Structure 1
Amino acid sequence: MTFKFPSAYTILFALIAAVAIATHFVPAGQYDRVANPELGRDVPVPGSYQEVEPNPQGFFDVVMAPIAGFYDPGSYEARAIDVALFVLIIGGFLGVVTKTGAIDAGIARAMARLQGREKWMIPILMALFAAGGTIYGMAEESLAFYALIIPVMIAARYDAVTGVAIIMLGAGIGTLGSTINPFATVIASNAAGVPFTDGIVLRFVILFACWLACVVYVMRYAEKVRANPDHSIVADRRESNAAHFLKGRNQGDGAPDFTGKHALILIIFAASFAVMIWGVSVGGWWMAEMSALFIVASIVVGLIDWMGEEEFTSTFVDGARDLLGVALVIGIARGIVVVMDAGNMTDTVLFWAEGAVEGLGEVAFINTMFWLQAGLSFLVPSSSGLAVLTMPIMAPLGDFSGVERSLVVTAYQSASGLVNLINPTFAVVMGGLALGRVPYERWLKFMWPLLLILAVIIMAALSVATML
């Protein structure tokens, strides 16, 4: 009997149980916290760590963690229940649009126009997603694009992994190399007591170098798959993925006709995503507003296609049902942080990290800081949550080692961004892989050489900047 790697649900439940067991052995502790008016949050006070009454988590806590994960915002910008509802509504919206045949006809026309030049979609799309990441920390909202990008990649004779990589690596590298991202760079710089523009040149260098490395890596993989589909790490799922993402498209009957109605629906489709990006980056929107946007867009598309009320509602519900598993993964992933916080582990781990960098030289300090932040990112996947938790403690330590606080901020955001490309506690990773039908262990197999390359680039950039 061959070993089969467990599903995302089993992995996440195992992590919840492991963290719960750890609360029985890791000393419970907390920092004192004070309100920071600029950040609008309570931040830990350096030197105030103390052990507190332990609160080991048991069986009931493990069982309740996924439920609490949906409702407890913790250090996140949105509750998991809000993100999960957004994903379900996106599923309904995509179901309605797919039913009209507009996506199938649009993909067929795009492939005809791009004949022989399909590979250039990869750097262009990754640049667009990276721009979203570096400007406003594109994360949960990227989930809306998987059902749009992956069918195009499969139709271009690539695979689902290529589509997932374009979105997850594109947006992830943008966040890793954040320049003006308010949820990472700005919050961390404020917590560290420095202007967010300090160190921005280095961050642009890291952003471009890491983006270029990712583009080359993904393009090489995609071309290998196109030349020989057996080189795909999801080759055994090729037929089922094609049936899922290109459903309703019968290639044997030739390309579907592209009508004026299809064009109008695709304009509404694209405009919905453009409005979403504007709303998040300029209008102060979040999950509730984005969900409402796609409900309205679904109704508009249904009216254009002149669906009856019964057909529209059943199609919308069927589309939402397709993404129900993704919504569940998002809540379960948040449950890990719920157990860790309830067991008073988080501040203890931060205290240990504080002691690990004291007294180090400049280069040793910044690289140790990078890896400590990487470890903490597994426990606190939210970039803003990690910034508020660690920067008030870690940034002042740079003063004693002669390292500028802006470099500590860059080390933090680079580490957080790197880890969140594979982090199983990050709902965006597990949700994106579920949307792309890519098993987690296959994603790790795809990613590990690239992670080493990116880590070397980041450590080299931090080391050189420290010595200048």
Structure 2
Amino acid sequence: AANAAGIPFTQGMLMRVLLLIVGYVLCVFWVMRYARKVRAHPELSVVADKMEENRAHFLGNRANTLLEFTATRKWVLLIFAASFAVMIYGVAVLGWWMAEISGVFLAAAIIVGVITRMGEEAFTSTFIDGARDLLGVALIIGIARGIVVVMDNGMITHTILHSAESLVSGLSTTIFINVTYWLEVLLSFLVPSSSGLAVLTMPIMAPLADFAHVQRDLVVTAYQSASGIVNLVTPTSAVVMGGLAIARVPYVRYLKWVAPLLLILTLLNMAALSIGAMM
């Protein structure tokens, strides 16, 4: 984003680091506050009605037993960790992406099946059960990104961006940066790729910031903070939807739980951007 805006990436770093620290503290407080509340009153959990169902799913008939940490289980954990190490090396050094990453985890699953002496039928059933939990996620992400493709090919995204360009022209510094923030929030839903969003918006918004007498690094900060907020809830995120599916938390319930935190973080971002615009 900084490169697309024509500035060094270190410019505006202090504000972004401060936002990171404050936002991290707020998120930790929010999660720990919820954890303490649920520990004291389990019925207040967002999935309280699914507690027995989830207990049976995750623990089966071993809910009240402490599993022995056998040599076989140690090998399974080692292979699990090694698969991530191989994935990181492949992506960073060899240029791997989804096809290669999928192959790594498929190979790791087969090796685990051999080490644990699972039969073919048991391995296949277990593999399908695991994939079943994420099938709905794959459909949601596919449909959501299909909408994005339609909007891009139909030039709808570019039309929205052009209209926004006309909207922010001539605004005061404080209003300009906050309108830019909300524009980035909107476009983050339409353009799931963070780098793609930066390339799409920065060449337009950065020059407009010059006319509004706003530092370009503030526009970059507005983009980053908006993208970060949206990535907590967007249904096109495999991290969000996959995590919720694995944890068996319905998406709507997650939205209700995280909404107050999103409001707090949004107000924090807008306040920081407004202060930066006035300096």
Aligned pairs for 1:182-197 (under 5 A) are 188-197=1-10
Deviation string for 1:328-366 (max 9, x for gaps)? Answer: 222122122123224331111001111121112222211
Alignment of 1:257 with 2:102, yes or no, is no
- The Cα RMSD (Å) is 2.0
- For 1:40-439, what aligned pairs fall within 5 Å after superposition? 188-246=1-59, 248-252=60-64, 254-439=65-250
Q: Which consecutive residues of structure 2, in runs of 5 or more, have no partner in the other structure? A: none
Amino acid at match of 1:204: V
Judge conservation of contact 1:373–1:416 (CA < 8 Å) in 2. Answer: yes
Cα distance between partner residues in 1 of 2:37 and 2:88 = 33
- How many angstroms does 1:412 deviate by? 0.7
Q: Distance in 2 between matches of 1:284 and 1:337?
A: 25
Q: 1:439 and 1:307 mapped to 2: Cα distance?
A: 32
- Residue 308 of structure 1 deviates from its aligned partner by 3.9
State whether residues 329 and 431 of structure 1, in contact with CA within 8 Å, keep that contact through their aligned partners in structure 2: no
- Note closer, same or farther for the CA distance 1:242–1:311 as it changes in structure 2 (3 Å cut): closer
The one-letter amino acid of 1:251's match is: A
Please give the alpha-carbon distance, in whole angstroms, between the structure 2 residues aligned to 1:375 and 1:405. 20
Q: What whole-Å deviation, never above 9, does each CA across 1:209-256 have from its counterpart, x for those lacking one? A: 11110000010001101111111112111111222233x35224x212
1:454 is matched with 265
User: CA–CA distance in 1 between the matches of 2:85 and 2:37?
Assistant: 33
Distance 2:209 2:2 in 1: 13
- Per-residue displacement from partner, 1:404-429 (whole Å, max 9, x unpaired)? 21211110111111122122344543
1:98-119 alpha-carbon deviations (Å, 9 max, x no partner): xxxxxxxxxxxxxxxxxxxxxx
Instruction: Give per-residue Cα distances to partners, 1:25-68, cap 9 Å, x unaligned.
Output: xxxxxxxxxxxxxxxxxxxxxxxxxxxxxxxxxxxxxxxxxxxx
| Cα distance in 2, alignment partners of residues 200 and 345 from structure 1 | 33
Cα offset for 1:399?
0.6
Cα separation, 1, equivalents of 2:233 and 2:156: 22
Per the alignment, residue 164 of structure 1 pairs with: none
Q: Report the Cα distance in structure 2 between the residues aligned to 1:215 and 1:415, rounded to whole angstroms.
A: 20
1:281 CA displacement? 4.2
Residue of structure 2 in register with 1:162 after alignment: none
CA contact (8 A) 2:140 2:236 kept: no
Q: Is the 8 A contact 2:174 2:274 kept in 1?
A: yes
1:414-461 deviation digits (Å, cap 9, x = unpaired)? 111112212234454334333332222211210111011101221222
2:134/2:242 contact within 8 Å kept: no
- Work out whether residues 333 and 426 of structure 1, in 8 Å CA contact, stay in contact via their aligned partners in 2: no
Give the number of equivalent residue pairs.
279
Moved more, 205-214 or 426-435: 426-435
Separation of aligned partners in 2, 1:326 and 1:425: 9
Question: Which blocks of at least 5 consecutive residues in structure 1 are unaligned?
Answer: 1-187
With the length of structure 1 as denominator, give the TM-score of the two structures: 0.56
Deviation at 1:283, TM superposition (A): 4.3
Q: 1:322 to 1:255 in 2, by over 3 A?
A: same
Q: 2:137·2:238 contact (CA, 8 Å) conserved in 1?
A: no
2-structure distance, mates of 1:268, 1:427:
23
Tell me the equivalent position of 1:440.
Answer: 251
8 A Cα contact 1:334 1:427, kept in partner: no
CA distance in 2 between partners of 1:380 and 1:274 (Å): 30
**1:104-137 superposed Cα distances (whole Å, 9 cap, x missing partner):** xxxxxxxxxxxxxxxxxxxxxxxxxxxxxxxxxx
Partner AA of 2:31 in structure 1: V
The separation in 2 between residues aligned to 1:459 and 1:278, in whole angstroms, is: 38
